[in-house]
Amino acid sequence: MSEYREGPGPAQIVRPYGDTTGDGRIQVSFTLPVPFGTPTQQARAEGAAMQLAAKMGLEPAMVVHAKGMGPDYTFFIVYGRVSHLVDLSQVQVTEREFPLLSSAEVNLRIRSHLGRKLIVVGACIGTDAHTVGIDAILNVKGHSGEKGLEYYREIRVVNLGSQVAVPDLVARAGAEGADAVLVSQVVTQRDAHITNAKEMSAAFDAAASEPEAPARPLLVVGGPRFDPAMAAEIGVDKIFGKGTTPGEVASYLAYALAPDSETPEAA
């Protein structure tokens, strides 16, 4: 393992860079339930923030921004130095397990493997009304310069929108003969995204265990604060996190549901 050193290059041990290379300076923001009204309250609030910064190992530290958030809360930005080192050799990255395909390749895979359109049912479940993410994946206009799944000739998309109850999602997926169910969860307060996703996967498992029920569809969950490594724990097949593009999702669907093709891939 190489040692920490100043300057550019492939060092394995690195420190944060604030004002100068390797100075260990970082910036953190947080909110405390303390008022920021009178000068005395402001001094106490900043003192509270400094105490937290010291306990977090920021030394020296400085409150560079403090702002009252309503009568009882204060938002802070603290700038300070940490002594911790980052060992890049210990960083674990989940590699994408499927190749990225063009839309033509995805269509060809589906056509030659399934011989019919691949059916995708999408929804934002629970009380979550944040539809921009799932729409970015499903709607033809897409995201990040990539067309959404509706654009794919061999994919039929049923977008149920927001605040869909899990029993309704299960029923609709069954009625549509869904090959894959795509669920979005953006609100994460009290881990609602995890609870809701687990409830959803359990409901699909239960439906699939009924006599003569069709196989459980592929379950795909997405949202900005999901950890993609949690799929097994949540009981789904795949999790996509922040910054996902429609092409990645289409490629995964082809990989998972139309894995082999006897015919050569389209250009």
Nearer to ligand B12, 53 or 219 (CB): 219
The Cα–Cα gap between 255 and 251 comes to 6
Q: Which residue of the chain is nearest ligand B12 when measured via CB? A: 222
The Cα–Cα gap between 134 and 143 comes to 10
Q: How far is the CB of 222 from ligand B12 (least distance, A)?
A: 2
Nearer to ligand B12, 69 or 132 (CB): 132
Report in angstroms the alpha-carbon separations of 96 from 18, 46, 121, 128. 32, 44, 23, 28
Q: How far is the CB of 156 from ligand B12 (least distance, A)?
A: 16
Active site includes 141?
Answer: yes
Q: How far is the CB of 13 from ligand B12 (least distance, A)?
A: 32
Nearer to ligand B12, 78 or 181 (CB): 181
Sign of CA dihedral 199, 205, 211, 212: positive
141 Cβ partners below 8 Å, 6+ apart? 147, 148
- In the chain, how long is the greatest CA-to-CA distance? 75
DSSP assignment of 24-68 equals -EEEEEEEES----SHHHHHHHHHHHHHHHHHTT-SSEEEEEEEE
The owner of tokens 């809701």 is: 196
Nearer to ligand B12, 55 or 190 (CB): 190
Q: How far is the CB of 223 from ligand B12 (least distance, A)?
A: 5
- Single-letter amino acid code for the residue at 121: V
Q: Among the options 67, 141, 147, 238, which is catalytic? A: 141
Q: How far is the CB of 213 from ligand B12 (least distance, A)?
A: 23
Q: Note the residues at the interface with ligand B12 (CB under 6 A).
A: 127-134, 136-137, 143, 182-184, 186-189, 220, 222-224, 240, 242-244, 249
Nearer to ligand B12, 108 or 194 (CB): 194
**Considering only CA atoms, which of 55, 118, 160 is closest in space to residue 249?**
118
57 Cβ partners below 8 Å, 6+ apart? 82, 83, 84
Q: Which residues are catalytic?
A: 141
